[in-house]
């Protein structure tokens, strides 16, 4: 079984004018696809071939001799998850149990957004901002490069890719503007709630 590149859950131009089809063309068609190609090459003929992505990630996490495998496998997982975190006409407010939990653990939705924006803005260099659940509590985290919640005992609920390739064509150096638009216009709260 090889790892495959999943289709985007919407058309390439569906997130315009916020994220352009050109960005998604490169981000999904080139960046995400390259991680898929790399991981398949790296696991071919090894005891990792045939395992699913999550099993590969957990098996090589923390093994510095397998950092290349970890990075490529985790980036495949992160990107697939990220596509689902957005939808056309997203944003707005979560509802039900998710909103209650955000209010309980952050104080308010605005407080959560503030923390999330801050994590995204202060991740130095490449990485990801996350909403995770850990020990029954919601929290905001950030990770560098390919690192991801599942290897830290956390469950991922939402992520924003803050590698420059995610926003440079549309926002240039304005990462905070991209994250603001992500939260206000793109977040797929139904997907976030389904991860809870």
The footprint of Mn ion (CB under 5 A) covers 161, 163, 166
Instruction: Closer to Mn ion by CB, 166 or 183: give it.
Output: 166
Least Å distance, CB 30 to Mn ion, is 10
Q: How far is the CB of 79 from Mn ion (least distance, A)?
A: 6
Identity of the residue, 96 or 176, whose beta carbon is nearer to Mn ion in the bound complex:
176
The residue at minimum Cβ distance from Mn ion is 161
Which of 50, 176 has the CB closer to Mn ion?
176
Other C-beta atoms within 10 Å of 107: how many?
12
DSSP 98-138: HHHHHHHHHSSHHHHHHHHHHHHHHS-SSEEEEEEEETTEE
* Minimum gap (Å) between residue 80 Cβ and Mn ion: 11
Angstrom distance (rounded) from CA 69 to CA 177: 32
**Could you tell me if 188 and 87 are in contact, meaning their C-beta atoms sit under 8 angstroms apart?**
yes
Residue among 85 and 138 whose Cβ is closer to Mn ion: 85
In the complex, minimum distance from the CB of residue 53 to Mn ion, in angstroms, rounded to a whole number: 16
Q: Which is nearer to Mn ion, 166 or 187 (CB)?
A: 166
Q: Work out the number of other CB atoms within 10 angstroms of the CB of residue 166.
A: 24
CB 159 to Mn ion: min, Å: 10
Closer residue to Mn ion in complex, CB, 14/99 = 14
- How far apart are the C-alpha atoms of 125 and 144, rounded to whole Å? 8
* Start-end of H helices in 11-66: 21-26, 33-43, 53-60
Distance CA 132, CA 77 (A): 15
Residue 100 CB, shortest distance to Mn ion, in Å, is 31
**Distance, CA of 95 to CA of 78 (rounded, Å):** 25
């Amino acid at each position: 079984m090889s790892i495959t590149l999943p289709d985007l859950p919407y058309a390439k131009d569906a997130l315009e004018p916020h994220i352009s089809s050109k960005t998604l063309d490169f981000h999904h068609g080139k960046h995400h696809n390259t991680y898929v190609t790399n991981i398949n090459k790296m696991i071919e003929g090894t005891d990792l071939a045939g395992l699913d992505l999550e099993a590969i990630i957990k098996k090589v996490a923390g093994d510095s001799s397998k950092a290349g495998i970890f990075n490529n496998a985790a980036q495949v997982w992160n990107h697939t998850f990220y596509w689902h975190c957005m939808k056309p006409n997203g944003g707005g407010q979560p509802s039900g149990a998710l909103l209650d939990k955000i209010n309980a653990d952050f104080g308010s939705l605005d407080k959560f957004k503030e923390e999330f924006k801050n994590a995204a803005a202060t991740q130095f260099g490449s990485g990801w901002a996350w909403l995770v659940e850990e020990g029954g509590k919601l929290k905001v985290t950030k990770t560098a490069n390919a690192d991801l919640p599942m290897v830290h005992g956390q469950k991922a609920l939402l992520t924003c890719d803050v590698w420059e390739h995610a926003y440079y064509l549309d926002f240039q150096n304005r990462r905070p503007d991209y994250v603001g638009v992500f939260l206000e216009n793109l977040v797929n709260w139904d997907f976030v709630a389904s991860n809870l």
